Structure 1
Amino acid sequence: MLPPVELEVRHLRALCAIADAGSVRKAALQLGMTQPSLTTQLRRIEGAIGGLLFTRGQTGSRPTPLGHSVLSRARPIVAEMTALVTAARDAAVGAGGARLRVGSVGSRVVTGWLRRIHDRLPDTDITIHIEVSANTLLQLLATNQLDVALVHETAGFPLHIPAEVRRRVLVEREPRFVTLSAGHPAAASPAVTLTELADDSWIVDPTADHEWAALRRVLTAAGLDPRLLHVRDNTTAADLVASGEAVRPCQPTAEATPGTVIRPLAGDPLTAELSLAARPCALPLPELDALFDDLADAYEEATSRSVAYRTWLTGAGRPAPPDGRTSGPGP
């Protein structure tokens, strides 16, 4: 039996993360831990408290009645500690200069966005936090750990928007393309149908919000039941695609790696909404407008570098506006 531990704020934070994420695996990712480490920590916490805090099943981890009781006391403590640390950091920044905490899902747009922000705010201390999960970014905004973030929402799978967070849509309906081997029979097609990929394995990132569920829904609707490969590492995923072992959904602004090509999916079965999320009380409106303009310019720049996306936009009759703003493809 694992020895009990003296409960600390980090243990309470771990319990809140498990409850919010709905699983030990997702909570471990948010906390920057391995799943076995968090599982061991949870067992020790339960040993210290003297009872089971979560039930574990195929649908994830759910608080027991004792777990709900502990969480009702833990959340205010965690919130107070977060507020204390944030206030201390804000005081330090007030003495040392301006600060901007930027978050984003992985995207080719990020580099251009940061470059524009740095050019416009040369005396501001700017940090960037990249997350696979848009829901995690929204929680970081809600708890004042980020000031602004680029997030995406997969069509049919709404994000959990905290009450204090607002979003401004950058691209209403961005298509998801597919990356496949340059030697794939479908690589010669200007747009690839799902049936052309019926015999392929599909790579998905298990940590990305709803990526697996959205892909499964689309493939099932097409009458397909392909193999799914859960791969988190981008280098490994790129090598698997280049070797012809699998195909992979991708953003239309993505750049093809050696040995691969990027093609639209016919009919655009996978789409996402891109938006800039922030707490309106955290930044003045003119600065939020400027950050949105920076992001829109960066997105337009990324679009101009993607031959596949430019071709798709032209073919869809929706060329990007010349003023550097884009609302993306419409519904």
Structure 2
Amino acid sequence: MDLELRHLKTVRAIAEAGSLTRAATALGLAQPALSAQLKRIERALGGALFVRGRDGVRATALGDLVLDRARVVLPAVCELQEEAVRFARDGAAGHRLGGTHGPLLGGLVDRLARAAPDDRVTTYTSWSEREIAQGVVAGRLDFALVGVCGESSPPEAGRLAWTEVARDPVYVMLATGHPLAPRPHVSLAELADADWTDVPGDGCFGDCFAAACVRSGFTPARVYETDTASCVHLVQVGRAVGLCRATFPATPGIVTRPLAGAPLLWRHLLGWHPEGRAAGRAAAVLGHARDAHAEALARSAGRPPTGTGPETGPGTVLRTGPGTGPGPTRAAP
């Protein structure tokens, strides 16, 4: 039997799990099938890779050697696959954009299509900023247009180049008949008794919102996490108030108001692979994204106040450590 990458992955999975039972579960195999596969691998390599004990398995000296090589070989092959995909796809004309919900992605598509009508523009949308960033890393997408909360690092920060498109304060959505709707600004403390609604996400916005509420002296009683259309409906009928970006478009039955003191900020980011061929188009795409943001603000229910926090200068490339900040869930529509 010739040794294959899948065999190295199996050996690695057994070592990481610490037992054949747990490894079989992680790999989606029956334990007898995994045991038989391990025996075939061991015959191909000339000796036992693991010693079984009461507490699970531990690697033999030969097993340690194989695992050391696997830690080098498997990431190298994965990187080769990603580079090959980027090389094969980057030569095609057009733009492959990934983005979360919101008006910026549509505005960017419109501007790119107007600038080069013969170029093909395709999009992929997801609630997950990490999924979109991983699509750029893997070469399936040219650019990621996502948002992060406050000063949080963007996903795949160590592998992608990220530039800030714009920075906005987070707004609150109210029904037009809400008692606070006539106010130019609304404080979080004035909404202490409200139910809330927002959309899914995998950054730290949920934790940042909860912390801002605690600083204002309360904990949200109820949060409805759902899609944007449902969030809008819940606000329109007065069931909840919602959080939104400053670029949220004017919508019948809803007013948007800045939160007093700007306790929450949202940064719109454009990301690309620094070694991909699309990197040469990044400056032009960034310019279109900033213009799309300006157009979205002009169409929104209100413009953000100035002086809401420190600015990142135009064209600044963020190369920060990995991670998107603590905690799961939620982003502003």
Interval of TM-score (by shorter of Structure 1 and Structure 2): 0.5 to 0.7
The answer to whether the 8 Å contact 2:163/2:269 transfers is yes
Larger radius of gyration: 2
Note closer, same or farther for the CA distance 1:222–1:116 as it changes in structure 2 (3 Å cut): same
> Could you tell me how far apart the structure 1 residues matched to 2:257 and 2:161 are?
33
> Could you tell me how far apart the structure 2 residues matched to 1:118 and 1:188 are?
39
Deviation at 1:80, TM superposition (A): 4.3
Q: Which of 143, 161, 168 is equivalent to 1:148? A: 143
Q: Which of 141, 145, 165 is equivalent to 1:170? A: 165
Letter in 2 for 1:159: P
Q: Which of 228, 231, 235 is equivalent to 2:229? A: 235
Note closer, same or farther for the CA distance 1:73–1:99 as it changes in structure 2 (3 Å cut): farther
The 5-angstrom pairing of residues 52-131 of structure 1 reads 80=77, 84=81, 87=84, 91=88, 97-131=92-126
| Structure 2 unpaired stretches of 5+ | 17-24, 36-55, 59-65, 309-313, 317-333
> Could you tell me how far apart the structure 2 residues matched to 1:290 and 1:225 are?
44
The answer to whether the 8 Å contact 1:135/1:160 transfers is yes
Deviation at 1:74, TM superposition (A): 9.9
> Could you tell me how far apart the structure 2 residues matched to 1:300 and 1:286 are?
24
The answer to whether the 8 Å contact 2:162/2:271 transfers is yes
The answer to whether the 8 Å contact 1:86/1:145 transfers is no
> Could you tell me how far apart the structure 2 residues matched to 1:122 and 1:99 are?
10
Note closer, same or farther for the CA distance 1:231–1:65 as it changes in structure 2 (3 Å cut): farther
Find the counterpart in structure 1 of residue 267 from structure 2.
273
Find the counterpart in structure 2 of residue 225 from structure 1.
219
Q: Which of 131, 134, 145 is equivalent to 1:136? A: 131
Identity of aligned residues (%): 27
TM-score (norm 2): 0.67
Find the counterpart in structure 2 of residue 27 from structure 1.
none
Deviation at 1:198, TM superposition (A): 0.9
Note closer, same or farther for the CA distance 1:101–1:225 as it changes in structure 2 (3 Å cut): same
> Could you tell me how far apart the structure 2 residues matched to 1:142 and 1:85 are?
7
Other structure's SS at 1:252 match = coil
Find the counterpart in structure 2 of residue 210 from structure 1.
204
Other structure's SS at 2:152 match = coil
Note closer, same or farther for the CA distance 1:44–1:260 as it changes in structure 2 (3 Å cut): same
Other structure's SS at 2:139 match = coil
The answer to whether the 8 Å contact 2:171/2:245 transfers is yes
Deviation at 1:161, TM superposition (A): 3.2
Deviation at 1:186, TM superposition (A): 0.9
The answer to whether the 8 Å contact 2:129/2:155 transfers is no
> Could you tell me how far apart the structure 1 residues matched to 2:199 and 2:301 are?
25
TM-score (norm 1): 0.67
Deviation at 1:267, TM superposition (A): 0.6
How many residues in Structure 1 have an aligned counterpart in Structure 2? 267
> Could you tell me how far apart the structure 2 residues matched to 1:46 and 1:204 are?
41
> Could you tell me how far apart the structure 2 residues matched to 1:88 and 1:277 are?
18
Note closer, same or farther for the CA distance 1:118–1:260 as it changes in structure 2 (3 Å cut): same
Note closer, same or farther for the CA distance 1:65–1:105 as it changes in structure 2 (3 Å cut): farther
Other structure's SS at 1:262 match = strand
Deviation at 1:298, TM superposition (A): 1.0
Find the counterpart in structure 1 of residue 277 from structure 2.
283
Note closer, same or farther for the CA distance 1:270–1:164 as it changes in structure 2 (3 Å cut): same
Deviation at 1:116, TM superposition (A): 1.4
Find the counterpart in structure 2 of residue 246 from structure 1.
240
RMSD value over aligned CA atoms?
A: 3.9
Other structure's SS at 1:185 match = coil
Note closer, same or farther for the CA distance 1:121–1:44 as it changes in structure 2 (3 Å cut): same
Note closer, same or farther for the CA distance 1:278–1:258 as it changes in structure 2 (3 Å cut): same
Greater relative contact order (CA < 8 Å, ≥ 6 in sequence): 2
Q: Is 1:295 matched up with 2:289?
A: yes
Letter in 2 for 1:167: W
Summarize deviations over 1:212-256 as a string: whole Å, max 9, x none.
111111101111112232422222221111111111110111024
> Could you tell me how far apart the structure 2 residues matched to 1:195 and 1:86 are?
50
Q: Is 1:263 matched up with 2:228?
A: no
Deviation at 1:65, TM superposition (A): 9.3
The answer to whether the 8 Å contact 2:184/2:257 transfers is yes
The answer to whether the 8 Å contact 1:205/1:211 transfers is no
